[in-house]
Structure 1
Amino acid sequence: MRVATPRSRPRAAASAADWLVKLPTTGALDEWRAPDRNLSASWQRLLATLPARPQAFGAELQRRAQQLAQQLRADAITHNVHGTEQSLPWTPELLPMVMEPADWAAIERGVAQRAQLLQLILADVYGRQELLEHALLPPALLFRHPGYLRPLHGFRPLAGQFLHVVAFELARGPDGRWWVTGQRTQCADGLGHVLQHRLITAGLFPEAFEQLRVQHMATTFRKLLQSLRAQAVMAAGDAHPRLALLTPGPDAPGYFEHAYLARYLGLPLVEGGDLTVRGERLYRKMLEGLAPVHGLLRMIGDAQCDPLELDEHQGYYGVPGLLQVLRAGRLALANAPGSGFLESPALSGFLPGIAQALMGQPLLLPTLASWWCGEAAAWEAAQPHLPKLCMRPSFGPDAGALRPEAGRIGDDPDAWTLQERPGRSQALRWREGRLEGVPVGLRVYAVADGTGSWQVLPGGLARVAADADAPLLPGHGSAMDLWVRTDGTVDTFSMLTRRLGVDDILARRGPVASRAAESLYWLGRYTERTEQALRLARAALQRTAGAELPAPVQRALRALLQRAGLLGMSASSPSRAVLRRALLKGLADESNGLGWLLGALSRAAGSLRERLSPEQWGLMRRMGADLRAALQPRDKAAPTTTAVLRALDDLAVQLAAVTGAQSDRMTRDHGWRLLAVGRHVERLVSHATQFGVLLREGALAEAEGNALLLELYDSTITFRARYQRHQDLLALVDLLVLDDNNPRAWTCILRRLRNEVRKLPIATDVADELLAGLPAQGPGLTLQALRGLDDEALRRRLDALAAQLADAGAQLSDDIGKRFFAHVGDPLQKP
């Protein structure tokens, strides 16, 4: 970017002004203009940092727009709903919206007052309920609203603080006044986007950001953290509380911002499944055991917090027993549940009177005129003005600006609120090579500072509206970074620039969470199971397309395919053609078999995005899509056996890349060890079962059965090099059971299992207990012990050992789940 010289800046501003003059004039206030309708001084200074000539000015903005697009593509995991191509809300716009100090001072005072008023309302409705007693708040408006949580009546949070952070929606009318159009009290959604938008725009316009004296936001975020930590100290009873950020999980549209905010604040990111309640205390499930949690910044709705006492249908994201921990005073929760009714538009009409009663002062920021139709007088007064109003639900999620319907309102007046249409000012947007004005509404945040006062975050989001009258719904549209200018000192405190010390380094080597460990364990199992199913499918397809198989081999093959879920229909007929059709149908079935396994593998990887390289994650997503595409009919004709085999060969190459990345590109912590344990548990169970099936069906008495077993064990080349074309069962035992150098042999699998389990964070006696079902040494069999046995005795011995090892592997898997994931019987760490 060419930095404009002082001499060129007036000319640059004039060029930009000429560009902006072409924009159509509307009745809305333009945020980039001064009261005299000329370009504001702030926008003159911002645009003066760009090239002077109009053509170069446009080219430079377009170049920075491309930089923004590249940044979003680089953050593909952040701006797409997890595992899909669906765009996330509030995509960053290139240009910021600039807020002048005087305008911001009025917003700051009004928002802080509003936040304190909402805090007082909560304290009353969950306490003495004087607002109801004095008819300042209609009982129907409170008790019918699902956001009023009756189980919490009488509850008082730590330090009496119900709210820690509140978001307010603002709009500026043609008269220049800012109006409150709504508030978000349940959780602080959007804060992560605020941070990310600031990072992008400050980087794209660094000179303008500095020259305009834009206020930094880090101090307010520190206040939020300090306030939560101060109350967590009360819950912990000591000066070292443990905090976390609670997210619905990777499938939530806002997961990126949750992860971003958690990293910025230095908090671990947890899901409901990571937490458990024991003895009126909250614990986080870690590999090392249960670690206490004393404070949560939550990003889930009120009804999702506790399925035991609230909405059991939404409780998947929450923690059973969480409300009991709150009542016991053992947890600081930001925000406390129960504030959902404050988000109702019906409350707006009652807030002026409530403010006067509770605070003795009028509201500094006006509210949109509202008529709750549950009041007969209000409904009667609003009816003549219906064409100018919008209809919004009083008790449900906001569905947008609905056109009023008198009949619909009359059927249930309490359920509807009529409001003035907000009207919005316009901000500048660069879109498709041109500047345009678009309606915007602000989302700003107030943060409790722990001393009874509120700090307003000097920034936020300027959310782009579809039109000037439309409500801004959660999760829709794009947004601009809000630059708040200051005439005073710019607060340069940063939470990111502190130099790391030894304690910081040690903290970042923290233990592995049980949820991540469980996902890694199943990633290992699903990877191995997919590989086994793929190898079996290829072997079966090749054999059903060739010469007739011996009956024992065909029976064994059918049994293995059924066990793996690879048969899409009944294949009881001995016909190879029937078996082949069933196999081809099963391969295309995503509800079972290989298609389902690829989906399960992708889902397991999906919860481990922070541990996987983009290439590894992308490959695991593509495998299922590539196989589906290859199995699609062409010109209404099913794919040929040759085409399917080619697709399976391609999948084998992709899987080899996945397993290579797991072995060579992942940090070898305890989580990775559980991935390795999962792979070897699956390999032990699968290989032992395969050997047992082939033995019992008599398939290993046939050359084709031996070849099938070697192919399933991926040991054909080694066997031929060592034994040429011998078909002795003892030779198979030597290579596939006893050879400690063959990674597919039982001996090697068991050795790896014992080694990895003993490296996990458990005492030696616990490891011994987990491994008790496995043979103490080797596979429980030696070559010398087989001396003198005939083939029949050898088959019986191997069959029994195969069944024992398959059962032992399954039991080990159950015990690992209980010990590391469910923490059954775990001792509790110090609260």
Structure 2
Amino acid sequence: MSENLPQPSADQLEPSNSSNKELLQLIDSLSQTPDIGNHDELRLENGELKDYWLKFFEYLGTDQIKNLSESTKTVDRLIQQNGITYNVYDSDQAQSRPWSLNPLPLVINSQEWAEISNGLSQRARLLNEILRDTYGSQTLLNNGYLPTALVQGHPGYLRAVHHIKPPGDIYLHIVAFDIARGPDGKWWVISNRTQAPSGLGYVLENRLIVSKLFPEAFRELRIQHIASSYKRLLDTLTELATPLAQGESVRFALLTPGPYNETYFEHTYLARYLGLPLVEGDDLTVRDDKLYLKTLHGLERIHGLLRRLDDEFMDPLELRADSTLGIPGLLQAIRSGNVLITNALGAGFLESPAIQGFLPAISEKLLGEKLAMPSLNTWWCGEQAAWQNISPELKTQVIKPTFTGSVGPHFQPIVGSQLDEDQLDALREKIEQRPDIYTTQSYLQFSQASTWQENQFTPRTAMLRVYAMANTNGTWEILPGAMTRVSSEDPNVVSIQRGGSTLDTWVMTDKEVDTYSMLSQRSKYINPLTPHGLQLISSRTAENLFWLGRYTERAESLTRLAKESLMIASVSGEDNLNALQDAVSELTIRAGLIPEETPKLSKSPKVFARTLISQLNHKDSFSIGYYIQALNNNLRLVRDRLPSDHSKLVGYMKSSLENRLGNKTSFESRSLIVAVEALDNLGLQLAALTGLQADRMTRDLGWRLLTIGRLVERLVNLSETLGTFFSHDASLSSRGFDMLLTLFDSTITYRTRYQRYQDINALMELLVFDNTNPRSMTWILQELDHEIHHLPNTAKEIDTFSQIIQTCQPIFEDTMNIISYTERVSAAGKKLSNEISSHYFAHIKEQRFAS
């Protein structure tokens, strides 16, 4: 079969027919020329397409090439639909922007990839050996292979983990290498990431999107799949953690700094893909030198953490005391051999660019091998001889900060060739004041990959992030793909933070294409289930889902109330509306829709309506816009548990409110109509969101907490609405009767049963006693009782919840007692909310429930 496979060669295939010539002419007409001196990833030195790129374009054909701009739109649409984001920090403000992905892949043939794989697997092994020596016998430091000042002076060197040996002596389970190709076509290592390498989730998303854009080319070029690499990672972690579990089912979690981290989307996506609970530091606790997750079932043992949090934040007791992101006591649990951390703590100093200059000698010392893939020539200015040697050549260097991480002096890399002589002299003086914080590397012109921008093939400077994943036998395998980053405008800056983009990286194979899928197999490798057969749900996640339910119900009820209030304001000239107007005024003030000092609706309908409209989307009050934003915030916190449709729908709500209302400050009849239309539209969107929650989520404990939150909110809101109407006798008027039915969303049901006949007893039957009406007190209480009994309770707690619900049962013979009843129900609903919070979300006791 091998002779039938695409076999890249040094020579370009000659086009054999007119269609090929037409294809090449089209590509040439759409192509920009790369910058002088940069290796071209698309073409050979003679300007002809590399053979695998020719095959790629042949599979696309002229029509698809002409429509590559439509492919760009498809990518952007999929990114928006999937909610793929990257948080950008500017002037201490974080903003979430869509992930940037170009439709064209970067293709690497099998021979080149074999060289990359061999060089980087060797480096991963070397870095692991350096860590083992640094935190063990320290022969490298004692014999001068590494400067003590560089290693022990680096914030990433942790004295607290000295002599702690990780399971299997594997310190680095995942290593990320940033590599680039020079003008001569040779690959160079630029840097490596050893603490908590980012990008694996984005690699997956890039692959899923781009491979579907060009399925024939992906298949026929025999691009290797990447799912097996994630499987091997889980296999390795499971095998290493099994002795720690001592017969228990091995449980891992993915530790995230939280939703404001720049790559939070990736954390949620990766957790979902691997089948791991996504947790923050507050979700975890150390008891008896063991790590536990706070769940609805109480404390559940965690045997390993796949972390996305840097070393210094991991344990505020022994590392950074001001960290609110870590787990107090974690280091002691690690010392006791009770938890596996991926990667092991203390690897941060290896990320210093200065380390690169010492690796060739260390490789021969520790491995007895020369480096298969070279680093850029590197000088640590903290060594006097090195600084004196490189100082006259500073114009040929890139000057970088020696110390990485959040501690220590930081500055953007400086390209020496861009400085004049005066600037170079000033830089030399600055370096000589404190040379240890500066490292220089030889300037390298990175290769340029072809991207599709503004209807043409545009070359952009490219750098690959390649991932090595450990096996238990002391070797590292390279994921057959990468996250290729490309520059925006400045060819010297390849950074997503600074406007760059990404490419999917296609690795060709001359072996069998691995078609393994994680989707059907992941539960075999890491068991995310508790002994009860229920998914692990952290208390924080449960609380966020509970409040997601409350905010959804609250936004829906406020939208209905605001719309009906504006309708009443528009007919204020009618007689016999004073009681209803007073009830509406009380409800809107209590709900926070208008300020307390606003004149009552009965006194000044125009001022009331103007104020209500101006407050609908007010960001600094308890407005409808405020609760839509609260919904959005909660969705960000639980995005690993919900389909992206939820966030997308709430995004539509926000933009729709802004577009239709903005900040209305003047009251006109048109403004009222626009506001009512906006509220109508919002009501439909909220109904759709409720439908998603009801029909697009599994009935696990998280869904039950969301449902309980919604029911508690409905119970409190509707009881207070009913009580307010009866206290003002507002329901005695025809319009008040109809409005009460509308606020309970029960108009159609009432009309179906009683037509236009208005009867208070019939109203009470429907709104209080009817056990088939999802808006009646009886139905809500029944559902609450049902859902609460599905939560992990002790007998005492069941009694507590049941007693609260029992106080809400409608026991009265006439409507005169309805006001006291609604007050009792409202108080009971709030008490129930507090009891649920203290039992399931606080975890004041060490272990509240038997597991």
8 Å CA contact 2:614–2:665 kept in 1: the answer is: no
1:523 partner amino acid = L
8 Å CA contact 1:291–1:829 kept in 2: the answer is: no
Whole-angstrom CA distance in 2 between matches of 1:123 and 1:347: 16
1:420 partner amino acid = S
Q: In the alignment, what sits opposite 2:535?
A: 511
Match of 1:159 among 162, 168, 181: 168
- RMSD between aligned alpha carbons? 4.4
Structure 2 residue 413 is matched with structure 1 residue 401: yes
Deviation of the 1:167 alpha carbon: 0.9
Whole-angstrom CA distance in 2 between matches of 1:210 and 1:744: 54
2:441 partner amino acid = Q
Of the structure 1 ranges 79-88 and 514-523, higher mean CA displacement relative to structure 2 is found in: 79-88
678 and 352 in structure 1: CA distance in 2 versus 1, 3 angstrom threshold = same
Q: In the alignment, what sits opposite 2:195?
A: 186
Whole-angstrom CA distance in 2 between matches of 1:341 and 1:361: 23
2:799 partner amino acid = D
756 and 499 in structure 1: CA distance in 2 versus 1, 3 angstrom threshold = closer
2:707 partner amino acid = A
Q: Secondary structure at the match of 2:346?
A: coil
8 Å CA contact 1:771–1:812 kept in 2: the answer is: no
Deviation of the 1:494 alpha carbon: 1.9
1:73 partner amino acid = R
Q: In the alignment, what sits opposite 1:807?
A: 827
Deviation of the 1:82 alpha carbon: 7.5
8 Å CA contact 1:119–1:162 kept in 2: the answer is: yes
1:529 partner amino acid = R
Q: In the alignment, what sits opposite 1:460?
A: 482
Q: In the alignment, what sits opposite 1:374?
A: 382
Q: In the alignment, what sits opposite 1:756?
A: 787
481 and 733 in structure 1: CA distance in 2 versus 1, 3 angstrom threshold = closer
Of the structure 1 ranges 595-604 and 712-721, higher mean CA displacement relative to structure 2 is found in: 712-721
Deviation of the 1:168 alpha carbon: 0.8
Q: In the alignment, what sits opposite 1:528?
A: 553
Deviation of the 1:181 alpha carbon: 0.7
Match of 1:591 among 613, 620, 623: 620
Whole-angstrom CA distance in 2 between matches of 1:158 and 1:5: 42
Task: State the number of aligned residues.
Answer: 808
Q: In the alignment, what sits opposite 1:27?
A: 37
Q: Secondary structure at the match of 1:772?
A: helix
Deviation of the 1:333 alpha carbon: 1.8
Q: In the alignment, what sits opposite 2:468?
A: 446
Deviation of the 1:552 alpha carbon: 7.2
Whole-angstrom CA distance in 2 between matches of 1:445 and 1:190: 9
Q: In the alignment, what sits opposite 2:421?
A: none
Q: Which residues in structure 2 correspond to 1:418-433 (within 5 Å)?
A: 418-433=440-455
Deviation of the 1:450 alpha carbon: 1.1
8 Å CA contact 2:177–2:189 kept in 1: the answer is: yes
Deviation of the 1:443 alpha carbon: 1.9
8 Å CA contact 1:248–1:299 kept in 2: the answer is: yes
Whole-angstrom CA distance in 2 between matches of 1:336 and 1:485: 33
- 1:69-122 CA distance string (max 9 Å, x none): 425523424463279995555614424322351x43433333223212221222
Q: In the alignment, what sits opposite 2:251?
A: 242
Deviation of the 1:279 alpha carbon: 3.4
8 Å CA contact 1:170–1:182 kept in 2: the answer is: yes
Q: Which residues in structure 2 correspond to 1:446-595 (within 5 Å)?
A: 446-466=468-488, 470-473=492-495, 477-486=500-509, 489-490=511-512, 492=514, 494-496=516-518, 510-511=534-535, 513-514=537-538, 515-544=540-569, 546-547=572-573, 557-568=584-595, 570-571=597-598, 575-576=603-604, 579-593=608-622, 594-595=624-625
Deviation of the 1:449 alpha carbon: 0.9
Deviation of the 1:20 alpha carbon: 5.6
Whole-angstrom CA distance in 2 between matches of 1:208 and 1:409: 51
1:228 partner amino acid = L
9 and 825 in structure 1: CA distance in 2 versus 1, 3 angstrom threshold = farther
Q: Which residues in structure 2 correspond to 1:312-391 (within 5 Å)?
A: 315-316=324-325, 318-391=326-399
Whole-angstrom CA distance in 2 between matches of 1:702 and 1:48: 75
Whole-angstrom CA distance in 2 between matches of 1:762 and 1:587: 40
Whole-angstrom CA distance in 2 between matches of 1:480 and 1:4: 24
Whole-angstrom CA distance in 1 between matches of 2:843 and 2:787: 19
Match of 1:782 among 800, 806, 812: 812
TM normalised by structure 1 equals 0.83
Whole-angstrom CA distance in 1 between matches of 2:734 and 2:339: 67
200 and 696 in structure 1: CA distance in 2 versus 1, 3 angstrom threshold = closer
1:409 partner amino acid = I
Q: Secondary structure at the match of 1:659?
A: helix
1:674 partner amino acid = L
2:553 partner amino acid = E
Of the structure 1 ranges 516-525 and 126-135, higher mean CA displacement relative to structure 2 is found in: 126-135
Q: In the alignment, what sits opposite 2:420?
A: none
1:564 partner amino acid = A
324 and 204 in structure 1: CA distance in 2 versus 1, 3 angstrom threshold = same
1:97 partner amino acid = V
Structure 2 residue 111 is matched with structure 1 residue 97: no
Q: Secondary structure at the match of 1:771?
A: helix
| Stretches of structure 2 lacking an aligned partner (at least 5 in a row) | 8-12, 89-94, 417-426
- 1:682-730 CA distance string (max 9 Å, x none): 12222333445566678789888777655544456777875978797x7
Structure 2 residue 302 is matched with structure 1 residue 293: yes
Q: In the alignment, what sits opposite 2:419?
A: none
Q: In the alignment, what sits opposite 1:619?
A: 649
Whole-angstrom CA distance in 1 between matches of 2:21 and 2:758: 90
- 1:557-593 CA distance string (max 9 Å, x none): 4443333122246337894255445434432322222
2:838 partner amino acid = K
2:619 partner amino acid = E
8 Å CA contact 1:703–1:727 kept in 2: the answer is: no
Q: Secondary structure at the match of 1:773?
A: helix
4 and 23 in structure 1: CA distance in 2 versus 1, 3 angstrom threshold = farther
Structure 2 residue 289 is matched with structure 1 residue 280: yes
| Stretches of structure 1 lacking an aligned partner (at least 5 in a row) | none
Q: Which residues in structure 2 correspond to 1:673-752 (within 5 Å)?
A: 673-693=704-724, 712-714=743-745, 735-752=766-783
2:465 partner amino acid = R
